[in-house]
Amino acid sequence: MSAAHPPSVADECWSTDEEQFESGTLGDLLDNHDELKPGAIVWRGIAVRPNNTHLCDANDVIDTMADRAGAFAGEHADDYPAVSEEARAELDQILSDWIDKHAAPHFFQVGDVQSYVLTETDFIPSKDTQ
């Protein structure tokens, strides 16, 4: 599941159809769906964003280096690159930081989905939006 906009509040997201979770708060959902009325059923879920290392990690880079070295030098490149666990962890952190800075995911999966029945109280503007 994905959204046009990531959730704006603490990983909470809402849906009118239990498939498209595009609103960060219940208020956002109500603002974007004039057809909703008290008694309607909507769904609340928790956004689950990918861990940056699921997108690219040190092993991806090191494996690519080994493959290319083998293609270039054959058996002379066996065991290349032999890097320590500390070096792998350092590269993981560098890649994660780069992803945060230049390619932060705008997508997410949704977990812990629960139905919610709208009440009249949900339609009363909060002090924050007045």
Kindly report, residue by residue over 2-58, the tens digit of the pLDDT.
Answer: 444 444 445 889 999 999 998 688 999 999 999 999 999 999 999 988 999 999 999
What are 43's strand-pairing partners? 15, 115
pLDDT of residue 129 exceeding 90: no
Reported pTM: 0.68
pLDDT recorded at residue 106:
86
pLDDT recorded at residue 9:
47
Read off the pLDDT of each residue in 99-110 and give the average, rounded to a whole number. Answer: 92
Q: Which helix (H) or strand (E) holds 14?
A: strand 12-15
pLDDT recorded at residue 8:
47
87 and 115 assigned to the same domain = no
pLDDT recorded at residue 24:
83
34 and 4 assigned to the same domain = yes
Between CA 70 and CA 33 the distance in angstroms is 57
The more confident residue out of 68 and 1 is 68
pLDDT recorded at residue 57:
97
Q: Give, as one character, the DSSP assignment of residue 66.
A: H
Residue 13: is it exposed, middle or buried by C-beta count within 10 angstroms (0-12/13-18/19+)?
buried
Q: Give, as one character, the DSSP assignment of residue 8.
A: S
60 and 45 assigned to the same domain = no
For the stretch 55-92, what's the b/e string if a residue is b when 16 or more beta carbons lie within 10 angstroms of its beta carbon?
A: eebbeebbeeebeebeeeeeeebeeeeeeeeeeeeebb
26 and 56 assigned to the same domain = no
98 and 66 assigned to the same domain = yes
92 and 69 assigned to the same domain = yes
The number of distinct structural domains making up the chain is 2
78 and 88 assigned to the same domain = yes
81 and 43 assigned to the same domain = no
Domain that holds residue 41: 1-49+106-130
